[in-house]
Amino acid sequence: MNFLYIAYAAAWLILIGYLANLALRYEKLRKEINNLGRETSLRN
Amino acid sequence: MKRIFPILAVLTGAFLSYALYLALLVAPTEQTMGDVQRIFYYHVPSAWTAFLLFAINFVASVVYLVRRNPAVDAIAVTSAEVGVVFCTIVLITGPLWARPVWGIWWTWDIRLTSTLVLWLMYVAYLILRRFSTGGQTPVIAATVAVFAALDVPLVYFSIRLFRTQHPQPVIGGGGSIDPRMLHVLLMNWYAFLCLAALMFWSRYRLEILQQQLDEAEGLESLEMRSPR
């Protein structure tokens, strides 16, 4: 029974971990886009 | 589209919860293996989902090599990454099932080994995408992906072509399955497909945004270099 719960928990951990990783990458990309926009507007 | 995404995410979450309930509480207990057999409801749908995503990666890579369309390249990298996530689940849940049933975590059986090789090839593909900065990276990656995809049929047919310790396929392979178990298996697969589609959508948008940012940064650096 323990192996079953460990397997299901591991699967969910991987899926949630990947979703969290995607969210972090989105946030990082959003900041980079904002910075680029700010730099462009400052120069112009 | 932005408004639909949270609704689809909630629906997928509900569907996954329902599929989990079916797998843990509704599916009949297998007589020989007992409850540990229920790992099958996550192991097999993850494998099918990974195969589907690697097939998409193969088609996208071939199309990219012919047309050189960046949107197709984004589909290729997205499908490889999400496919690796599901293939990782396969490689973790498999040994967790094998330990109580076979008495060992791992054996260098053709099915297991070819699946590990498949995972390693797509991880190598993603590392190439992540760390190579040359303009030819998408072309090299697409070529690698075409070769990596050759392992997918080997993994799938290995249990039919070779003597292996891995159980025979439950659908279309001469094995039999209780219709209630088949129903739970398919429900879990559909739920995983919905989740994979949402992951694919998110990752694809991220890749397109990244491509646009790289293009904008390239233009920016060109403007800075050129005299006014």
Over the stretch A1-44, which tens digit does the pLDDT of each residue have? 699 999 999 999 999 999 999 999 999 999 998 888 887 777 66
CA-nearest residue to B213 within chain A is A33
Predicted-complex ipTM score: 0.90
Q: Do A3 and B39 touch (CB under 8 A)?
A: yes
Q: What is the pLDDT at residue B173?
A: 61
Query: What is residue B65's predicted lDDT score, i.e. its pLDDT?
Result: 96
B12 touches chain A (CB under 8 A): no
B111 touches chain A (CB under 8 A): no
Nearest to B121 by CA among B158, B150, B95, B164: B150
Per-residue pLDDT 10s for chain B (228 aa) are 678 999 999 999 999 999 999 999 999 999 889 999 999 999 999 999 999 999 999 999 999 999 999 999 999 999 999 999 999 999 999 999 999 999 999 999 999 999 999 999 999 999 999 998 888 899 999 999 999 999 988 988 888 887 777 777 766 666 678 899 999 999 999 999 999 999 999 999 999 999 899 888 888 777 777 655
The domain locations on chain B are: 4-27+36-169+177-210
With 0.80 as the threshold, say if the pTM is over it: yes
- Distance from the B149 Cα atom to the nearest Cα atom in chain A, whole angstroms: 23
The 8 Å CB, 24+ separation contacts for B147-153 are: B147/B121, B148/B54, B148/B118, B148/B121, B148/B122, B148/B124, B149/B54, B149/B55, B149/B57, B149/B58, B149/B61, B151/B114, B151/B117, B151/B118, B151/B121, B152/B51, B152/B54, B152/B55, B152/B58, B152/B118
Q: Give the minimum alpha-carbon distance from B48 to chain A in angstroms, rounded to a whole number.
A: 15
Taking CB atoms and an 8 Å cutoff, what residues of chain B touch A15? 85, 89, 195
Cross-chain Cβ contact B43/A26 below 8 Å: no
pLDDT in tens, B119-165: 999 999 999 999 988 888 999 999 999 999 999 889 888 888 877 77
The pLDDT of residue A38 is 81
Mutate to test the interface with B, among A2, A4, A19, A29 (most CBs of B within 10 A): A4
